[in-house]
Amino acid sequence: MIFYLPDIFIFVLGLAIGSFLNVCILRIPEEKKIEGRSGCPKCGYEIKFYDNIPVFSWLFLGGKCRNCKNPISKIYPFGELLTGILFLVVYQKYGLVLRLPEALVFTSILVVVSVIDFRHKIIPNVVLLVGVVLVFVSRVSLGVVNGNVLDEILSFVIGGGIGIGIITFHFLLFWIVTRKSGFGMGDFKLMFLLGAFLGAFKAIILFFLASFLGVILFLIFKSIEKEKVNQFAFGPALCLSAYIFIFIESSEIVNFLKF
Ligand SMILES: [Zn+2]
């Protein structure tokens, strides 16, 4: 694989966006404001711009606050690197097309949702709402450019509807059999966003893959953390499946299913 200047630009953009996503990941579950300069969570020391360079600052400071020397969460370099790498692979897949910004926004939303759900077992409404609005705006804009606004809106609504439909069907099935609710409200809303972005067909296949991955992730986490894990977060499994489906075409799935 050869990297050119645009690849490096996209990767660095991903690191910078990842820095912002970290702020969302850490502040949204605590219902703090997103804007405003970041400070050390332990001593409140305001982080200067030269200590805020993605990944490098964390490495340079040895993962410690410059002022109080308390450790800084590994979430910071992790979120930045993850976003940088995902931006790069999304760009490699899509190339420089009009749909690229939407794919990058969708990727960013997935990063925030999967990390927050993994850590707190919640999917904040505000993140999903921002995702749905931005993807919708992108679809309408692309529709205007390509002269097929109605097609874009229809694929958005039908994809989202099928996404909600398939999880509702399984929710009811699970409830009839066990009299327990198998999914959280956040999972329903997330399925709308995934269906709206990926389309109806991928939403259906994605749901089955996520159910399978969810069980595997649950068993892995349970073996690592023993008794701490008692419910599996379906959100990260949905996001992981969605990452996979960004890169796979519907025709490839059909061929795979046909063997
Ligand atoms: Zn500090």
Here the tokens at position 26 are 């850490």
Rounded average pLDDT over 120-126? 89
Provide the pLDDT confidence category of residue 2 given band limits of 50, 70 and 90.
low
Tens-digit pLDDT profile for residues 65-104: 888 888 888 888 999 999 999 999 999 988 888 889 999 9
Distance 46 CA to ligand 1 centre (A): 9
Task: Write down the pTM of the prediction.
Answer: 0.87
Q: Give the Å distance between the CA of 64 and the centre of ligand 1.
A: 8
Res 122 pLDDT > 80: yes
Give percent of the chain with pLDDT exceeding 70. 95
CA of 71 to the centre of ligand 1 (A): 8
20 Cα–ligand 1 center, Å: 19
How remote is the CA of residue 24 from the centroid of ligand 1, in Å?
A: 20
Coil, helix or strand at residue 70: coil
Per the prediction, the chain carries an average pLDDT of 88
Would you state the pLDDT for residue 230? 57
**Residues 10/96, Cβ–Cβ less than 8 Å:** no
Closest C-alpha among 102, 128, 98, 147 to residue 24 = 128
Mean pLDDT of 162-172: 93
- From the CA of 83, how far away is ligand 1's center (Å)? 25
pLDDT of residue 33: 75
Ligand 1 centroid to Cα of residue 73, in Å, is: 12
How many CB atoms neighbour CB 109 within 10 A? Answer: 25
Position 227 pLDDT exceeds 60: no
Torsion angle of alpha carbons 177, 179, 180, 181, nearest 10°?
Answer: 80
